């Protein structure tokens, strides 16, 4: 067990529980017999290269404890992709502050950062234990059953679609459809989580659109008409990365720039939800509808956090320090789905090789998606429910006619 200082950073988009993992790393490192100083990177690896370090041992313990219920990324984040010229700068800072333990809390790119920094240090003969702590609302990291952050974001989506869908149901004489957009460029884990609050066939959502399946406009619009005819309204949950069979995102605008390139996003493009809204309005001209695109609110709304998600995020932070103390390197803490022997979910922690996690995105497996491509199987619902936690129960009136 080598002695030295530790540094921890946060990277990429936030989650509702990313700071719970930070609290786990801080508290575990402070208790460690091998770690002397505990430093935080301001603004991720980008700030680290500029020596923007803070002393986390100097923080009030109460404030560290409050991190468990604090949204966003307390240290500040970055999406800087490492370049070859960055590594000598990083090694110089590591040496200057005698940092021997390197922790990053993040997703695919963050795991790639740790992996490459640790590999460079090994090549230069500098002893460094690099351990990754997983996070992402997209739930698309390999090597772990699910990621800290997903359960809370899934709960946010489920509650939003449940409540927005009830509004659509009760306002169906005015608006006949509602579209909710979830984040997730390459995987549909979050958009599919909308089903968590569904109890009856008529409950929202009615249609799921996920990046794992190619979008068929005609098939989709036919389904919308079928659902509206049956229930009086149609509730749709769509992932932001849904695309046509040729790979063109449905969020692409039909407007082209002066070079003939189709415009996307803020520069003339639109959202997937908005495009679906336009398609439905084009087919069913007498209908009105709504769409919701909440973007980062799904990623950091601590008021809807899952209690299990908070506990697992904190546990992953603590476990990262333990692995580093054991002299382990090049690993990410992973969550393993366990059971208490009675069919109830139990959290277990494992490890995954950083090289197997970095950069790649994990899609939803085929066994979780039904044959229509617009719904999920019971296996996915069983996977999802313990992560989201118990959802509120609402009144369902009988609507008995007056005699």
Catalytic residue among 138, 140, 309, 329: 138
Question: Residue 92 CA to chain centroid, in angstroms?
Answer: 33
Query: What is the C-alpha separation between 50 and 120, in angstroms, rounded?
Result: 19
3-state helix/strand/coil string of the chain? CCCEEEEEEECCCCCCCHHHHHHHHHHHHHHCCCEEEEEEECCHHHHHHCCCEEEHHHCCHHHHHHHHHCCCCCCCCCCCCCCCCHHHHHHHHHHHCCEEEEEEEECHHHHHHHHHHHHHHHHCCCCCEEEEEECCCCCCCCCCCCCCCHHHHHHHHHHHHHHHHHHHHHCCCCCCEEEEEECCCCCCHHHHHHHHHCCCCCCCCCEEECCCCCECHHHHHHHHHHHHHHHCCEEEEEECCCEECCCCECCCCCCECCCCCECCCCCCCCCHHHHHHHHHHHHCCCCCEEEEECCCHHHHCHHHCCHHHHHHHHHHHHHHHHHHHCCCCCEEEEEEEEECCCCCEEEEEEEEEHHHHCCCCCCCCHHHECCCCCCECHHHHHHHHHHHCCCCCCCCCCCCCCC
**Is the bond leading into 205 cis (omega within 30 degrees of zero)?**
yes
Question: 167 to each of 217, 280, 335, how far by Cα in Å?
Answer: 26, 19, 36
* 222 classed as catalytic: no
Is there a contact between 115 and 89 (Cβ–Cβ < 8 Å)?
no
Which positions are catalytic? 138
């Amino acid at each position: 067990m080598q002695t030295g200082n530790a540094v921890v950073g946060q990277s990429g988009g936030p989650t509702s529980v990313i700071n719970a993992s930070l609290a786990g790393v801080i508290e575990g490192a402070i208790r460690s017999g091998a770690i002397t100083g505990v430093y935080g990177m301001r603004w991720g690896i980008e700030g680290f290269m500029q020596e923007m370090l803070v002393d986390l041992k100097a923080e009030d313990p109460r404030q560290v404890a409050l991190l468990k219920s604090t949204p966003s990324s307390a240290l500040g984040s970055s999406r800087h992709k490492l370049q070859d010229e960055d590594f000598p700068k990083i090694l110089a800072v590591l040496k200057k502050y005698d940092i021997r333990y390197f922790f990053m809390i993040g997703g695919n790119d963050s795991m790639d950062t740790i992996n490459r920094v640790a590999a460079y240090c090994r090549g230069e003969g500098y002893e460094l234990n690099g351990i990754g702590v997983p996070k992402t609302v997209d739930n698309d990291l390999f090597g772990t059953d699910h990621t800290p952050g997903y359960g809370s974001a899934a709960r946010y989506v489920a509650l939003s679609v449940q409540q927005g869908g009830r509004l659509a149901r009760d306002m169906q004489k005015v608006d006949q459809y509602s579209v909710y957009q979830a984040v997730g460029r390459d995987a549909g884990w979050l958009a599919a989580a909308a089903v968590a609050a569904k109890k009856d066939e008529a409950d929202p959502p009615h249609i799921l659109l996920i990046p794992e399946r190619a979008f068929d406009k005609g098939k989709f619009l036919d389904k919308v008409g079928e659902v509206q005819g049956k229930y009086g309204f149609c509730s749709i949950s769509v992932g932001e990365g849904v695309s046509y069979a040729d790979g063109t995102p449905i969020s692409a605008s039909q407007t082209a720039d002066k070079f003939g390139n189709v415009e996307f996003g803020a520069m003339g493009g639109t959202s997937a939800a908005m495009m679906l809204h336009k398609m439905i309005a084009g087919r069913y001209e007498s209908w009105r509808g709504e769409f919701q695109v909440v973007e980062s609110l799904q990623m950091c709304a601590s008021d809807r956090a899952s209690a299990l998600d908070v506990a697992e995020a904190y546990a992953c932070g603590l476990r990262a320090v333990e692995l580093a103390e054991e002299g382990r390197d090049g690993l990410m803490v992973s969550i393993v789905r366990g059971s208490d022997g009675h069919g109830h979910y139990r959290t277990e922690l494992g490890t995954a090789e950083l090289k197997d996690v970095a950069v790649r995105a994990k899609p939803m497996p085929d066994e979780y998606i039904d044959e229509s491509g617009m719904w999920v199987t019971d296996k996915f619902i069983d996977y999802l429910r313990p992560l989201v936690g118990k959802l509120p129960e609402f009144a369902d009136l009988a609507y008995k006619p007056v005699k």
